[in-house]
Structure 1
Amino acid sequence: MALPSTRTRYLFFTGKGGVGKTSLSCATGLALAEAGKSVLIVSTDPASNLDEVLGVGLRQVPTAIPGASRLFALNIDPEAAAHAYRERMVAPYRGILPVAAIQSMEEQFSGACTVEIAAFDEFSKLLGDPSATAEFDHVIFDTAPTGHTLRLLTLPSAWDEFISSSTGGASCLGPLAGLEKQKTLYAATVARLSSADETTVVLVARADTASLREADRTRAELADLGIRNQTLAVNGLFSDASSSDQIARAMTQRAAEALANLPEGLAGLPQTRIPFLPRGTVGLDALREMAYPETVAIPTSHDMPEADLPPGLSGLVEDMAAAGHGVIMTMGKGGVGKTTVAAAIAVALAKRGHPIVLSTTDPAAHIAATIDGAVPGLTVTRIDPAREVRQYTEEVLAKAGRQLDAGGRAMLEEDLRSPCTEEIAVFRAFARTVDEGRNGFVVLDTAPTGHTILLLDAAEAYHREVMRTQGDMPEAVRQLLPRLRDPSYTRVLIVTLPEATPVHEAERLSKDLARAGIEPYAWVINQSLLASGTTHPVLCQRGGYEVPFIRRVADELSQRCALIPWLAESPVGATGLAHLVTQ
């Protein structure tokens, strides 16, 4: 069986977005259930597709999976958790405090900070309280993409430290009594995460350098948190060294080189390798094939199906260049290639003589490595959360703390020690970067879907928070939402892959953007094997599965659509990125 070890009761699957965490966690849970164990799979991802993979609608309570006896799953819905958390905090004061005071409390609980702490609250109940999952032999956590996951796993220590040092009620979390009651639960959560007898973390990666580098960064940061019982799962490993097909050879070579140069920290971990499967991993039958790849029939046809394909990126770049300035944002599910597409567009615009700022709000971004060298006219930046928090804290203390007495200043300093402060500080930096689009092009490689939407939704909550702590609002923040909603200033490109889950996730993102008053400029379908020219039987079969998803994007979901083939030449460096646009 090609699955990671399942010795411990708790299993965490984490890694760079799009590496197959959900599929692998579900395949592992299904295999355990069919071996006679009772299993609960939990998603902590704001952009979860757990229900799609398992083929059943999920809620925040365990739901039995049809066709899989003893297998259950649930989604921690951050928005629903935030609503329940907000009501729990505010309800005791209804009918006691004036209406205006109640409205003020509700506003405090309306931002991204509350969504995150509420989701963590639900997560802690499942991990920190054994009675919550007592009927299950194994609890599997399908976690969010790396940056969000690390924040989630860091929160037990961060909140515990914050609660211990708090003496008042100034926090953006509202009445601290609600958190004080959770101290024992949070301490148990920290202990369980760190126990090698109880918890295993599976670092999921693809056999490519960026994915493995991200897995190693995760390994080191988890180890620093005391979470050291880790294993490595290399997913979707394609290998056919004897093939004469250019694409098959390139896929084989890239994977072999990446695995031959495993970072030292990863090389010492127990390792599982899951082979490339010619069809998707949605549904129980596909998950069984993932667990038992030796049962999969090997395809023999060298013929790729014929299909009418959308044009490449170059037409989109020409249209965007004609505007002369503005913001271009690549958005989509983690792992679909947002960073590569953003970098390719930035390089193409810079080569046309435009001043370009290429930046990211993604905590797990690798933009600099993608560019791999200087390009005239192109500036690469990154929004660094630690630096932004430091600057924001100093600014608030200088402005708002000046008129406060010692007690008031101590309360403000306490407020700023809250982990929620990071959301506000990063949001300000995001607004500053968007402001630069007035005088040139800003290309923003944004975080995976859930985090991005939380960031955009933070605008109104940020306004209230900054008025409470500072009394003024930067002009860049004041202009942010109007600029994001202005199609002549901001062009959103939704990036996806020609597969079921990425397309469905992108469709959900598009609807979320519509609710925020933002209309996508175009969709980009990345890494299409159908358009690659391959004749390898396994890759041709996978290419055939792409057709309905390409047609859905091109015919139903987008006004403009571009398609990028899977390229034998890796799209790294100025030359490789330029080739991505000219295809």
Structure 2
Amino acid sequence: MKFLDHPTRNLFFTGKGGVGKTSVACATAVKLADTNKRVLLVSTDPASNLDEVLGITLGNHPTAIPEAPTLFAMNLDPEKSAAEYRERMVGPYRGVLPEAAVASMEEQFSGSCTLEIAAFDEFSRLLGDPSATAEFDHVIFDTAPTGHTLRLLTLPSAWDGFMEQNTTGTSCLGPLAGLQAQQKLYQESVKALSDTAVTTLVLVARAEPSALREAARTSEELAELDVRNQHLVVNGVFQAIDSSDSYAVALQHRGTTALDAMPEQLKTFPHTIVPLSPNGIMGIDSLRRLGTADAPSATSLSDEDNNNRLEELPPLSDLIDDLVAPGHGVILAMGKGGVGKTTVAAAVAVAIAERGYEVHLSTTDPAAHIAAAMNDERLPNLSVSRIDPAEETAKYSAEVLGKAGANLDEQGKALLEEDLRSPCTEEIAVFRAFADAVSAGTNKFVVLDTAPTGHTVLLLDSALAYHREVTRQSSEMPEAVTNLLPRLRDPNFTRVLIVTLPEATPVHEAATLQRDLRRAEIEPYAWVINQVLSPLPITDPLMKQRRSYEQKYLREVSETQASRVAIIPWQLEPPTGLQGLSRLTHSDLSILKS
């Protein structure tokens, strides 16, 4: 990896969900530690899987990695950070103010905005306070998926703008009340990010059009924040061994085509190509090998591959009849970033619309690509939209000012407008739009391509906190918000499809998501395993090794996790446009074996 020739002190990894940021960040940390550098590896992802990749249980403080003695790792646990942050803000008032006042303060710190602020607070301490990481030569940040990462980076500007405009001296912003004292620390964090001698921003992508477009968009937005020392890593690049295998040739061709057509600004960056690892990246030894093309021989896996093959699992088409049986309702496609939620949501929406039902397809994911999946094609009874945070925030703010501000004097309106400038307002507005989208399922089908796992769970888990926050600002509870949790918990109204890939991290994160949903009394309807090689007549040894690797995770899902499961085989042609999406729900798996 070329950025390791002259590594800066801070290395910051970002990219579309599912591209392998964690694997590349961990491999970088191990390679630096192997040169006797003291390294701290930090995840700011609410759905972090550092523990699994490194093979050790991590906490909120640096933990030594036994197999790499100078490497330490930690997860910034949003829940724990939020609890500590909340207590710092509320604790001094216990026993001083009446219990009711303290309880009111605790309510203001109970939403998902507090989680994000708390995580950023800790992130900034590590980045902006040199004494916090003085014992380390390098600090590596394995960040959350792109939308969340950009929010972390832009929050200092938003908070700075709020602080400059806060002329009233009030502290009605709840979670933001503690930020004034931290302003210098946030400024130092932004300064460190923009210092090319101190920080390298590593854009991780796959050789796929959507991942490369996302890397380019991220690059531009980060450059606007003066984060300009950027390096591109294209991860998981496949090279066919058996040229007679049409699937292997198609996979190689798809990657080559995507790289040739990558956005122009990415072509000018220094870059590193990382070959596909057929057995996944788990453990220190595999991290040390990342970047090497250690291909198997043509016969080394033939017997193992054939003997361990799982019995055929049903295709996605088997789910459609039951999904349309109620005649209306909500279908949620949920899972880790990069597993194909957008494609599955679009395919299900198209299949339902083809049967004559009215369908609305939408997303709450800031990094979604529904338009690309649809190729901008339309069916008469299928409508498509995206919940845009900026639009929803403007609409929500206007609504609150119109209702809650109607009878306020000038000072009262100034306080309310100040409150609405909080970054927390965007969270409330997006949540309201999500609730409105779900409510539309009372008279038609609504298919929602939701955000990556951590953000989705925050939306669902914070429903009651948002109840309090919305009534605090507008003095009334919208019907859609009031009925959201009952609707999500009603299996006759809402069907949750957990989308995953036959790989360790996506399956285990999906299992965590399922546990979180069940705690919220939401029972998943089915698991959909995307890009499965098992039904395919492949002969390429690298592809066969990958097929053998996936068996363990197909079994784990079908035998221990899902009450109902469906698979989508890897496609020779990308499943885009109405015809490509229809193919996913009309495929006869027996044809693939001919």
TM range (shorter): over 0.9
Q: Would you say the 8 A contact 1:172–1:415 is kept in 2? A: yes
- Once the two structures are TM-superposed, the CA of residue 309 in structure 1 deviates from its matched residue by 2.8
Q: Would you say the 8 A contact 2:114–2:175 is kept in 1? A: no
Q: 1:46 to 1:343 in 2, by over 3 A?
A: same
1:513 is the counterpart of 2:517: yes
Q: Would you say the 8 A contact 1:233–1:273 is kept in 2? A: yes
Query: What's the CA shift string for 1:89-120, capped at 9, x where partnerless?
Result: 00000001111111111111000111110111
Q: 2:349 pairs with 341, 346, 349, which one?
A: 346
SS at match of 2:321: helix
Q: 1:397 to 1:503 in 2, by over 3 A?
A: same
1:212 is the counterpart of 2:212: yes
Q: 1:579 pairs with 574, 579, 583, which one?
A: 583
Q: Would you say the 8 A contact 1:245–1:535 is kept in 2? A: yes
Query: What's the CA shift string for 1:164-217, capped at 9, x where partnerless?
Result: 3223334433472x2111011011011111111111111100001111011111
1:169 is the counterpart of 2:155: no
> Residue 553 of structure 2 aligns with which residue?
549
Letter in 1 for 2:127: L
Q: Would you say the 8 A contact 1:171–1:415 is kept in 2? A: yes
Q: Give the TM-score of the pair, scaled to structure 2.
A: 0.96
> Residue 185 of structure 2 aligns with which residue?
185
SS at match of 1:106: helix
1:498 is the counterpart of 2:502: yes
> Where does 1:285-434 land on structure 2 (aligned, <5 Å)?
285-291=285-291, 293-294=292-293, 298=297, 300-301=299-300, 303=302, 304-305=305-306, 306-372=309-375, 373-434=377-438
Letter in 2 for 1:435: S
- Partner Cα separation in structure 2 for residue 377 and residue 175 of structure 1: 44
Q: Would you say the 8 A contact 1:299–1:541 is kept in 2? A: no
- Partner Cα separation in structure 1 for residue 25 and residue 176 of structure 2: 37
Q: Would you say the 8 A contact 1:170–1:411 is kept in 2? A: no
1:438 is the counterpart of 2:439: no
- Partner Cα separation in structure 2 for residue 295 and residue 579 of structure 1: 34
Q: Would you say the 8 A contact 1:342–1:445 is kept in 2? A: yes
- Once the two structures are TM-superposed, the CA of residue 556 in structure 1 deviates from its matched residue by 1.1
Q: 1:464 pairs with 468, 471, 480, which one?
A: 468
Q: Would you say the 8 A contact 1:169–1:175 is kept in 2? A: no
> Paired residues, what number?
581
Farther-moved stretch of structure 1 (301-310 vs 9-18): 301-310
- Once the two structures are TM-superposed, the CA of residue 569 in structure 1 deviates from its matched residue by 1.6
- Partner Cα separation in structure 2 for residue 201 and residue 457 of structure 1: 32
Q: Would you say the 8 A contact 1:199–1:229 is kept in 2? A: yes
- Partner Cα separation in structure 1 for residue 5 and residue 585 of structure 2: 42
- Once the two structures are TM-superposed, the CA of residue 308 in structure 1 deviates from its matched residue by 1.0
Q: Would you say the 8 A contact 1:111–1:457 is kept in 2? A: no
Q: 1:331 to 1:174 in 2, by over 3 A?
A: closer
- Partner Cα separation in structure 1 for residue 71 and residue 439 of structure 2: 49
> Where does 1:36-47 land on structure 2 (aligned, <5 Å)?
36-47=36-47
- Once the two structures are TM-superposed, the CA of residue 2 in structure 1 deviates from its matched residue by 7.0
Query: What's the CA shift string for 1:320-364, capped at 9, x where partnerless?
Result: 011111000010011111101101100111111111100000000
- Partner Cα separation in structure 1 for residue 299 and residue 176 of structure 2: 64
Q: 1:76 to 1:407 in 2, by over 3 A?
A: same
Q: 1:241 to 1:67 in 2, by over 3 A?
A: closer
Letter in 2 for 1:79: E
- Once the two structures are TM-superposed, the CA of residue 526 in structure 1 deviates from its matched residue by 0.7
Letter in 1 for 2:30: L
- Partner Cα separation in structure 1 for residue 539 and residue 295 of structure 2: 20
Q: Where does structure 1 lack aligned partners over 5 or more consecutive residues?
A: none
- Partner Cα separation in structure 2 for residue 512 and residue 413 of structure 1: 35
- Partner Cα separation in structure 2 for residue 120 and residue 311 of structure 1: 43
CA RMSD of aligned residues (A): 1.4
Letter in 2 for 1:537: P
Q: 1:540 to 1:32 in 2, by over 3 A?
A: same
Letter in 1 for 2:117: I
Q: Percent identity?
A: 61
Letter in 2 for 1:499: E
> Residue 592 of structure 2 aligns with which residue?
none
1:67 is the counterpart of 2:70: no
- Once the two structures are TM-superposed, the CA of residue 406 in structure 1 deviates from its matched residue by 1.4
Letter in 1 for 2:479: E
Query: What's the CA shift string for 1:498-520, capped at 9, x where partnerless?
Result: 11111111110000111111000
> Where does 1:466-485 land on structure 2 (aligned, <5 Å)?
466-485=470-489
> Where does 1:83-232 land on structure 2 (aligned, <5 Å)?
83-166=83-166, 167-174=168-175, 176=177, 178-232=178-232
SS at match of 1:421: helix
SS at match of 1:432: helix
- Once the two structures are TM-superposed, the CA of residue 409 in structure 1 deviates from its matched residue by 1.1
Runs of 4+ residues over 6 Å off in structure 1: none
- Partner Cα separation in structure 2 for residue 471 and residue 65 of structure 1: 51
Farther-moved stretch of structure 1 (417-426 vs 235-244): 235-244
Letter in 2 for 1:265: Q
